[in-house]
Homo-oligomer: A and B are copies of this chain.
Amino acid sequence: MIDRETRRSEVEARLAAHVLAHGLSRTSLRDLARAAGTSDRMLLYYFADKAEILGVVLARIAADMAALLDGALPSAERLAPADLLARLGAMAGTAQMRPYMELWSEIAAGAARGEAPFDAIADAIAAGFRDWADARLAVADDAARARLAALMIVAVDGAALLAPMAGGAIARDGLGALADLLARYCS
């Protein structure tokens, strides 16, 4: 027999892949179990209940996304606002990144209704986003940098939310207009 913790970790990884691919709508215990190659009975052996499953899985996905972001743009180099926005916008449109953004908007919508565990996780993810941007902006003044970091996140999240609509035109035009503004501001 295989060690429980090892097996649980494997299951966790498969669950994360499934949730990332299919969102939060198809997450009954039986669906999740099928995706993880086990039974609902075993899921509730590894985890206390469904809420713990979602919490653990979403936390893992958030960590994966953070690692992906860090890998794509190391915190060592700092960019001008317009450049960082361009990089962010390009990354958010990537096939690799899109599932994360779609899931993120689902989590955010759940958090808006105050549903657990989405509210806590959404808070952590949003703060992570902002810190990530703050650490990569080449802006001397602390307060100004924090505000610009917030703007980056607001714009990219808004674009992600609007990406499916009107063929992505609104998201594209909005980010483009902001990039123009930022370029003017920095020169």
Contacts and interface: CB of A to CB of B under 8 A. Distances in A.
A150 B126 contact: no
A66 to B, nearest CB: 16
A178 B151 CA distance: 7
**Contact residues of A: prevailing secondary structure:** helix
A111 interface: yes
Contact of A158 (B130, B148, B156): B156
A57 interface: no
A148 B122 contact: no
A23 interface: yes
A138 to B, nearest CB: 15
A182 interface: yes
Interface string A112-149: 11110001001100110110000000000000001110
Given A153-B158, A154-B175, A161-B161, 9 more contacts: A105-B112, A114-B164, A129-B170, A147-B173, A151-B177, A154-B159, A154-B171, A157-B162, A158-B161
Interface of A: 23, 25, 102, 105-106, 108-109, 111-115, 119, 122-123, 126-127, 129-130, 146-148, 150-159, 161-166, 169-178, 180-182, 184-185
